[in-house]
Chain A
Amino acid sequence: MIRRVKQRYLALKIESSESFEEEDLRDAVWNALIQLFGEYGASQVGLFLVQCDRQRKKAVLRCWHKALPMVKASIASVTKIKDKPVTIHVLRVSGTLKALRKRVSKQFLQTLL
């Protein structure tokens, strides 16, 4: 029997002086993941950008829970989006979007989720 894969949702805060597109953020995280763990490692992550608020520079990512340490390391290693310096901080990690909504501050989630 195939077991359901558990997921983890990560609330992210992006610090950047420049604006960026949703695809740019996704590409930056994927590139960091591939650089650190290779294509084989990246295939075991199940990474998905759930939502991105470009104005507030916040985002929610989803990944498989076993790959969470790899994803956190990759996110921390992102230094550029489209050759512009950025920092991405993981604000919270949760098993469901509902719990993430409870945990992260209302201000952020009212606009995002």
Chain B
Amino acid sequence: MTKFMDLHLCAPFRDAEQLRKIVTKSSELGYRLVGMPLPPNVECDEVERLRKMCSEAGLDLASRIDLTPRNTHELLASLRRLRRKFEVVSVLCTSKPIARQAAKDRRVDVLSFSFTKTRNRFFDRAEAELASESSSSLEIDMAPLLSLEGFLRIRLISSLRREVAIAKSFRVPVVISSGTTNHYLLRSPHDYSALAMLFDMDSSLALSALSDTPLRIVERNRLKLSPDFVAPGLRVVRRRDP
């Protein structure tokens, strides 16, 4: 059975009731893992509390950080400081130098772009080439597609269609996630795959963007963050008894 994942569930972190509501809803819709953006200074206890709440609803939790750097130096400093604390690292690319730096950095898992300012979507062929070499993924949040109306939605769909075509030709993995704080904007994986036809993503590719691609990202990072990891292809199998 396919294991569906929502890597960007923006649940209100401090509001326990709302959080429980949205987590339960995700579980009912068929997701098995959710990625929640957390503040950079989050305590381990709070993450464990969240993890417990998610496991009660039948969900696995992946801790995630959404970086919004103002320049490339800030991006590098944040990555150095936070990479080993979170399972998924996403960068909101607000300028072209940031987008290029994030695409070529192996520590970045997910590239995301502004949904309202389509001029600030820097996912072009050069960006895709860098991303394909560093195994970063392009993230598409579906909530703006549901909440925007009229000209803004037309422009967004047009940009997404172009970006998905570029991602396909450069074999950049695409991740589809909800990106919502409101449980009314949550949809099931099959509903998202139906919506993905708006930007020319066929059903199988869309379902893989909701299952295999995010699973690969989370598994890869969990392996790297485990104490047994030494280097890519090298890990501790057994330790000598002291």
Contacts and interface: CB of A to CB of B under 8 A. Distances in A.
Interface of A: 15, 35-36, 69-70, 72-73, 75-77, 79, 85-87, 89-90
Interface residues of B, number: 20
B194 A73 contact: yes
Interface stretch (B71-79, B105-113, B180-188, B223-231): B180-188
A76 B145 CA distance: 10
B194 A86 contact: no
Nearest to B197: A69
A77 B146 CA distance: 6
A76 B197 contact: no
Nearest to B146: A79
Interface string B174-214: 00000000111111101110110110000100000000000
A36 B145 CA distance: 11
A86 B182 CA distance: 11
Contacts of A76: 146, 187, 191-192, 194-195
Given A77-B146, A79-B146, A79-B147, A72 B194 contact: yes
A39 to B, nearest CB: 15
